[in-house]
Amino acid sequence: MALSMPSTTVELTLSAGYRQAQRALAAWLDQGVRAARQSAFAARTALAALDPTERSRLARWLAWLSVAASYRGEATISARVRRLDSGLHLAMEDALARLPMKSVTMLKQNQRMSA
């Protein structure tokens, strides 16, 4: 008789719509400006299918992407997201304000500068 241990952590289950929207946004962000115009429709369509909770999760994901881009010295994605969906942009800015910025600031301070 085999005993199975119950899971002690709740796994985050992401809906198919969320995963599709995340993939569409990732593809849209990875493309250049010209190609991004063509895939913006697919990203907007995927965003329209999300419920408020999923939009909030996606906004938090975008906020972390924005922090990562600024940490690498790249342009932030804020302006591009604003052009794609102003509501998502506002949610991303709100999520950005709620991130643990103290740790992000410490990471930036520890970054080595090249000669």
| Residue-range domain boundaries for the chain | 16-103
Question: Is there a contact between 77 and 62 (Cβ–Cβ < 8 Å)?
Answer: yes
Backbone CA torsion sign across 8, 12, 15, 16: negative
- Of 8-17, 22-31, 95-104, the range with the lowest mean pLDDT is 8-17
Q: Which two tokens stand for residue 97?
A: 């304000």
Distance, in Å, from the CA atom of 63 to the CA atom of 61, rounded to the nearest integer, reads: 5
Average pLDDT, rounded, for the chain = 79
For 55-98, how does the pLDDT look when each residue is reduced to its tens digit (9 = 90+)? 999 999 999 998 888 888 877 788 889 999 999 999 999 998 88
Give the chain's end-to-end CA distance (angstroms, integer). Answer: 64
SS3 8: coil
Confidence (pTM): 0.72
Percent of the residues in the chain that have a pLDDT greater than 70, as a whole number: 75
Integer CA distances (angstroms), 11 to 2, 52, 63, 76, 81, in order: 23, 20, 22, 30, 28
